[in-house]
Each structure stands twice: as structure tokens, then as C-alpha cells.
Amino acid sequence: MAASTTINLQPPVTNSGNVLRMLDACSKGDIETVRHLITVENPLYASLQDETTGQSPLMVAAAQGHLPLVQLLLEAGAPWNAVDRNGQCAGNYATDHEKWQVINFLVEWGTRAELILGAAQREQQTVGLPFHSSSTSSTTTSSTIPEAHQPSTKPDYLRQPLRYNNDSSALLDADNDAVMMEWERPLMKAHAQILMEQVSPADTATYKKRVLNVGFGMGIIDTALQELGPSLHIIIEAHPDVYKHMLQQKWDQKPNVRICFGRWQDVMPALIQQGVVVDAIFFDTYGEHFMDMEDFHQIMVKMLSKPHGIYSFFNGLAPDNLFFHGVACQCVKLQLAQLGLEAEFLPCQIQVDEKAWDGVRRKYWHGRDTYYLPRVTWNPQAVHGTLVAEQQEGKNKHSPTKQDLEVVAMEVDAKRPRV
């Protein structure tokens, strides 16, 4: 289940003759009239939306593929992520009309806007101000957003009772929201295979990977990982009901499994302290925010072996709109790049039967048949730099302690070439 993102929906704001003049000028690609309207008459015209259709000047300009007009409107304050009555944003309009230049420009703009917004929210949080995602900004309240599109962040999740439903097809929380569902099984299997594939040139037959999974849920990915025979299989799980279920299912007795009951936020620093390093990491929690995922990345890199470690996560970012999903993936890609990692997104076909949602309050996957599976590896250049720096730092700092040597031994082990 996805971390919720800051990309969100804004309902149409107003209607007047002015919006019709703007829409008309945009549909004709008449940049001079648009410039006049927003510079001489009112800059707010750039952000208007038709009350009936929800169309904005930016959407119309994007559908026309008129890049200078798109730029002008965005610079005048048109929100890149406003949606029409069908939930479509300017990026969707450009995509429908295959206007590639505009699509690329909007992705770049949206990514920058989201990263800046994210940084501002983090700043707010640091200084102790209440934090609001854009879904609860002044233009809209969560009650005006359809339930299906509301952010899935649930700060009280760990205090809610959970239940596995009768046919074991879902794990549900107290609101009947799905924490995990059976339809994800093929995706989880694909994730497990990507995580456990051997990536370096020798020693495949003997080397068994060490893997960390964060979030047990229905144990689907852990079952798939077990089948691939890891030499160490750490599972971090925070919910008491899920932990109880794991013990009932005797997960504590499975080969090489080590269960860490607690939040990853608390468990991972302790594992790092113990010098634990793994070759593969998977992240799939519930009820957390996109910012938690960013925090996870900062800490996860300390446990991921170099240079062949692989990381992946359940990619349910902004799942109800392909364009927002693309922007969210791009944000993650840039954030991971800052940590020395390279992310690629592998398309996988998936079909979800509508009946799967029976008894589930809110769909968290919206009929798309392509899932973009993230495969994240170290950037070879970044790794080379860090390895050299770490070696130098180690040499100059102190002679190694016993614990250091154990950590180094694990690192050396991880660096053994494998196919």
C-alpha cells in the first residue's frame, strides 16, 4: 500500500466571462491576448477554471501543445496540478494529444514544484508548525475531495485493530481500508525476483543474499523471498496484530528469518548500530506519508551493501492519475540520486478484478494495467567515490575495533563478485 504524496486534487475555483475569454484565446493559441489578459487585466485569470467542466487555460494550452503559452501560464501562477471534473490535469491533456514537449515541460515543472513544496513542509515540521499537505490547502478541504482520492496517511494506524478477512484476500484496518490485498501477489513475486537476482559476474551458485523487508502485511513478499533462499531474512513489522499473526504462522521459526517487532524508524537505527548490512531491501508500509519514505531512504542507504545492493518499494505513488504518478516517480528518482542511487521503473502488466474491492472502503489502485516496478541500484561512480572516501576516513581516524572489523567483514562479503 502506498505512501501518500503531496500531489493532490484541486476542484475548479470559479466561473465568469473571463474564464471563457482565457479558454478561447488558449484554444486558438493566441498568446498575445492571453498575455494582455493576465498582465493588464488580472494575473489571477491564469488560474481560473470553468465551473462546469473544470477546464483551465493551462489544460487547453497543453492539449494544443503550445509550449510558450504553457510556460506563460505557469509563470503567471497557473497550478500545474489543477484537475477538471474528470480528475484530469494539464499533463493528462497533453498526454492524450501526444504533445511530448509540453509533457516533458510539465513533468519537470511539477517535479520541481513538488520538491520545493516538500522542502517547505519539512521546514515547517522542523520548526514545529502544523504541517498541511496540499490536499488540505486553502483552496480545498478534505471533505471536498472524493473519498477515493483522499490521502491515505493514517497517523493512528498502529493503534487500530486489524483483521485478516475470511478468505484471506485482504488485511483490513478498523475503517475497512485495505492494508494489503491478495491481488498484489504477482507484483510482490516480481519484486522478490528483482531483489534476489544475482547482479555481479561470479559465484552465483554459492552466494545467498541477505534481505530486509519492511512491512509484513500478508507475508506475500516474505513468502516469495523465502522461496529464493536468503542467507538472512530480516522482517520489520510494527503492528501488534500483524506481529501476532506472524508468530501464529511460525514465521519466527522459518530459515534464517529474524523478526524485528517495531517501527522501522526505531528498529533500523538499532540494526545499523549493530553493523547489519543487507544486499536487498524492500519497503512497503501503510498509513505513512511520502516524507516518511524520504526519511526511510536516508536511513536505508546505511544498510544497503555496496556496490551490488538492490532496493525496491511498492510503487503506489499517486495511483489514481498516471501523470501525477509520473511526477511522483521522478521526485523519488531525484531524491535517490542525491543519495548515490539510480532508480529505473520496470513496466509490469497487472489486472485487478473489480470484485477484489468488495468490502473495501477505498480503492487504492485505479484500473491502470501497468505497474512501474522500481529497481534501485547504486550509481557506480557515486559508490566508487564513497568507498575511496570511507577507506581514507577509516585509515586516518583510528585503528579498527572488533565491531568495525565485523562490519568490514560483512562489507567485504557483500562486495564479493556474483553473477
Could you say whether residue 154 binds ligand SAM (CB under 6 A)? Answer: no
Residue (274 or 381) nearer to ligand SAM, CB: 274
- Find the binder of ligand SAM among 54, 57, 79, 219 (CB under 6 A): 219
**Size of the residue set binding ligand SAM (CB under 6 A):** 24
- Find the binder of ligand SAM among 3, 94, 180, 281 (CB under 6 A): 180
What is the Cα–Cα distance from 6 to 153, expressed in whole angstroms?
11
User: Sign of torsion, CA 130 131 135 137?
Assistant: positive
Could you say whether residue 183 binds ligand SAM (CB under 6 A)? Answer: no
Closest CA to 114 of 276, 320, 297, 332: 332
Residues facing 257 on adjacent strands: 233
Q: E-strand spans in 326-378?
A: 341-349, 370-378
Q: Given the rule CB under 6 A, which of 281-289, 304-312, 337-345, 393-401 is the region that contacts ligand SAM? A: 281-289
Residue (283 or 324) nearer to ligand SAM, CB: 283
Min CB(242)–ligand SAM separation in Å: 4
Q: Where does 162-289 have alpha helices with state H? A: 185-196, 220-227, 240-248, 264-273
Tell me if the bond preceding 230 is cis, omega within 30° of 0. Answer: no
Residue (81 or 153) nearer to ligand SAM, CB: 153
DSSP structure class, residue 2? P
Residue (10 or 153) nearer to ligand SAM, CB: 153
Give CA separation, 200 vs 189, 227, 376, in Å.
Answer: 21, 21, 15
Could you say whether residue 242 binds ligand SAM (CB under 6 A)? Answer: yes
Closest CA to 1 of 205, 242, 233: 242
What is the Cα–Cα distance from 210 to 230, expressed in whole angstroms?
6
Cβ neighbors of 63 (< 8 A, separation 6 or more) are 93, 94, 96, 97, 99
Could you say whether residue 331 binds ligand SAM (CB under 6 A)? Answer: no
- Find the binder of ligand SAM among 263, 375, 384, 415 (CB under 6 A): 263
Q: Given the rule CB under 6 A, which of 198-206, 235-243, 298-306, 378-386 is the region that contacts ligand SAM? A: 235-243
Could you say whether residue 217 binds ligand SAM (CB under 6 A)? Answer: yes
Residue (45 or 264) nearer to ligand SAM, CB: 264
Min CB(34)–ligand SAM separation in Å: 46
User: Sign of torsion, CA 172 195 302 253?
Assistant: positive
Q: Given the rule CB under 6 A, which of 225-233, 263-271, 365-373, 390-398 is the region that contacts ligand SAM? A: 263-271
Looking at residues 36 to 95 of the shown chain, list those that interact with ligand SAM (rule: CB under 6 A): none
What is the Cα–Cα distance from 22 to 65, expressed in whole angstroms?
16
| Beta pairing class for 257-261 and 232-237 | parallel
- Find the binder of ligand SAM among 66, 239, 297, 325 (CB under 6 A): 239
Residue (95 or 285) nearer to ligand SAM, CB: 285
Do the beta carbons of residue 336 and residue 376 sit within 8 Å?
yes
Min CB(208)–ligand SAM separation in Å: 21
Looking at residues 282 to 321 of the shown chain, list those that interact with ligand SAM (rule: CB under 6 A): 284-286, 288
Residue (232 or 408) nearer to ligand SAM, CB: 232
User: Sign of torsion, CA 363 281 419 330?
Assistant: positive
Residue (21 or 263) nearer to ligand SAM, CB: 263
What is the Cα–Cα distance from 133 to 205, expressed in whole angstroms?
48
Task: State the residue number with the nearest CB to ligand SAM.
Answer: 217
Residues facing 35 on adjacent strands: none
Residue ranges that bind ligand SAM, judged by CB under 6 A: 1, 179-180, 188, 214-221, 236-239, 242, 263-265, 284-286, 288
